Structure formats: C-alpha cells, structure tokens
Copies of this chain bind each other. A is one copy, B any other.
Amino acid sequence: MSGSRGRPSPEQPTIADVARHAGVAVSTVSYVLSGKRAISEVTRNRVLASIRLLGYHPHAGARALASRRANVIALVLPLRAGMQVPVVMQFAMAVVTTARRFDHDVLLVTSDEGPAGLRRVAATALVDGVLVMDVELDDARVPLLRELARPGVLIGLPADATGLTCVDLDFHRAGWACVAHLAGLGHRRVALLGAPAAVYDRGTGFAHRTRAGVVEAAAGHGVDAVTLPCEESAVAVRRTLTDLLERHPDVSGLIVQNEAAVDPVLATLPTLGRRVPRDVSVVAVCPDRFAEQAHPMLTAVPVPAEEIGTRAVSLLMGKLDGEAVPEVTLLPPRLTVRDSTAAPAATAKADR
C-alpha cells in the first residue's frame, strides 16, 4: 500500500518517515539509534519496529555531515611489484573484518597515488583515520601523516616513529630467533635468503630489520652468516641457491624470508644434493599457512598478519576515541619448530 500510490519509485525512507510512522520526533529516532540519551523501553520498541517495517537505513553522507564522523577508515595498500601478495591479502582481510566489528568501513587507497591520495581522503573527510601498510624506513607519507588532522596507524616501522603509531612483528628479534635456533642445533654457518633486492633498495623496514637481527645474532652466537636478497621466481631461487652453495658449501642452515621462495627452495635443495633437514636445515619467516603446507613442514617464525591487522585497527579506533596509544607496538616473534630443522649431519652425534 505504501509504495503503490503517490510514490512511484520506492525511495529510501528517511529518518523523518520513521519518526512520522512511529509518532515521535526525529530526534527521538536518532537517539534510539545512537543510544546517546535515555529512551523509554516502549518508545524504543515502537521506533525499532517502524525502522524494520520501513526498511530504514541512515544516509551515510548525512550522518557524516552532521556528526563529523564518516565511520570509514582508509587502508593504503602497496599494490606493486615485489610484494608478498598473500600476506597483504591477509592484512586487508583482517583489517576489513575488524573495522566492521567497530562499525566502520574500509576505503581502499593504492600507494601509487602516493601522499596525494592520503591527503585527499583525509581532507575531504571521506575517512576518519588512516591505515598505512608497506612503510619504508624513510617514507614520504610519514611527515604527511604527522601533519594530517586525522589519526593514522602504520603497519611497519619507519626510521623515526616519534609522534606516530606503528604496529609490526618484531622482525629484528625474529631474525635473531632463527639464528639462535639454528645455532642451538649446532649450525656454525647459516645464510639468510631475504626479500627481493628491490625491497631492500627502497628501504622497506621489515627486510632490513630481519637482516640486522640475523647478523647481530650470528655475531652473538659465534656463527657465520651470509645474507643475500632473493627474487621470487622459481628460476631465480634456483640460481641464487646454486650460487650460494657453490660459494659456501658448508652452509648448513638456511633462513628464508620470502613466502614466494619457500616452495622453490624446498624443491631445489634436493636437486642440489641437499636433503632437508639432514643436510640443510631450513627455517622460514612466513605466514603459518605456508609453513604448514610445505613439505617437509617448516620450522618457522610466523608473520601474524591477522593479529597485526587487528591490532592496527584497534589502535586506530582508540585514537579516534581520543585515547592515548603507544607509539610502537612490536609483536614478539614465536618460533615454531617443525620438521625442517635438525642438528647438522657432521655434529649430530657429537652434539650430545
């Protein structure tokens, strides 16, 4: 009846329609929805019934205008070469899911729009806050983020984090933990197969921090460590690996921080006469999923993409609510021992 006459197209009902239908003031409906003032049980129910009946949904733009809150956050994603695509996806997934739990939506901004994109979405009040991934040590967006009127959270750790909010895995300690594990097993010579060279070149924090952790831990444990970048294709992995083992045949522990390289590494090693873990131990820094479906299952320090994403959103929501939040949140690495590491063959029995 309501749609058949007088209103040819069933326009979205407005809050005024709801108020009229429920016999209350517009403001009352608003307060029912926001809960910012006490409303009697009976009135609330009447209003809610009308809302349901009319299929009312508040207009996001109007709400944003009046409340100065868009309930949208921006997610700045690195959609470019050399990225660990599945990890990025996991982040995005966790971010969207968590944001929804806080009743927020997520606007996707690509980092190739650069700082301009950030400025735009912030200045137009399209979003209330900003989440930035793939932060470089000396990132152009960092100063911008500091001057922006809207709060932001970084996933990753720039060189100077003062005045910011950052979340990340503690890659430094992750690198350290890998070496410590291998050293504890008796390995004296290890190698880090890292991210693609481009990632180091543009100063991406996690790559550098892991490498530093590996190097320092090696020194601390009296272990020799070679570190080298590694491209993502199977061919490149094979080349890098062949090269490495030719130059350093006594490397018995391999740390792989490149999810795309994990499978090729495991496939290549046997063809070079190295069995895992008998001849070479492999420990990976990658999402648990990869470590578990590899063969053999990999000893690994998982990158907790989910948790980082969730934490980042929670921190951002905190800032939006005016809470004070820590500048740097580094999640402690947890090394999970699986089937790809063992004591080196030569020292296997001498060890204990």
Chain A residues at the B interface, C-beta cutoff of 8 Å: 12, 55, 57-65, 70, 72, 75, 79, 85-86, 88-89, 92-93, 96-97, 100, 105-110, 112-113, 120-121, 123-126, 149, 233-235, 263-264, 266-267, 293-295
Contacts and interface: CB of A to CB of B under 8 A. Distances in A.
Contacts of A97: 110, 112
Contacts of A264: 263, 267
Nearest to A289: B81
6 contacts: A55-B123, A57-B120, A61-B61, A61-B70, A233-B293, A235-B295
B107 A105 contact: yes
A108 B120 contact: no
A233 B266 CA distance: 12
Contact of A108 (B55, B107, B124, B294): B107
Nearest to A268: B267
Contacts of A75: 108
A282 B233 CA distance: 18
A contact face: mostly helix, strand, loop, or mixed:
helix
Given A79-B96, A233-B295, 20 more contacts: A12-B125, A57-B120, A57-B123, A58-B124, A59-B65, A60-B61, A61-B61, A61-B63, A64-B64, A79-B93, A85-B89, A92-B108, A93-B110, A105-B107, A105-B126, A107-B107, A108-B108, A234-B295, A235-B295, A263-B263
